[in-house]
A = this chain, B = another copy of it.
Amino acid sequence: MKLTEAKQQFISSWGAFGTHWGINRTMAQIHALLLITPDPLTQDDIMEQLNISRGNTNMNIRELINWGLVERVLMTGERKEYFSAEKDIWKVVKQIVKERKKRELEPMLKLLDQLEEVEGDKRDKNIKAFVDIVSSIKKLGHQADKTLDVMIKAEENWFVGNLVKLFK
């Protein structure tokens, strides 16, 4: 397979992959493009390579920056802004985990804390079923939260080495 075709495939699959994770196609594609491009790109480079509009490009680059996956790069003597993605995949994964934990897991756990306090007799079948589920999700969620905290701090070698050994 030629590089051009391979790049194209990578970008398009990464985009499709993203949609299974609540990330929009274009954002994932821009990320993919920046991942496989050794030098930083401008907004115009991205527009041209992915065939998308200026507004769309701008919006999704900004979102990638919010997620901490892409950064602005200033080239000396150049007016334009350049963009570059973190290339260390372990760092990328940790960053995504960190953000999703903050944006999704933590708010969910807060809600479950409230829902667990539902009024009424715990011997009532309906109340019991509700509290049981809420409590068990909460428990597993808090466990996952702690585990992810440690993962976020871990080095790749440590993680892969120990975890795989443990899981043998």
Residues of A within 8 A of B (CB): 1-3, 6-7, 9-10, 13, 17, 19-22, 35-38, 87-90, 93, 100, 103-104, 108, 111, 114-115, 117-120, 125-130, 132-134, 136-137, 140, 143, 146-147, 150-151, 156, 160, 162-164, 166-168
Residues in B with CB closer than 8 Å to A87 are 129, 132-133
A-B contact pairs, 30 of them (CB 8 A): A1-B119, A3-B119, A3-B120, A7-B130, A10-B130, A13-B108, A17-B104, A17-B108, A20-B100, A21-B21, A36-B133, A36-B134, A37-B129, A38-B125, A38-B128, A38-B129, A87-B132, A87-B133, A88-B136, A89-B136, A90-B140, A93-B140, A140-B156, A143-B160, A147-B164, A150-B167, A150-B168, A151-B167, A162-B166, A163-B166
CA of A93 to CA of B147, assembled, Å: 15
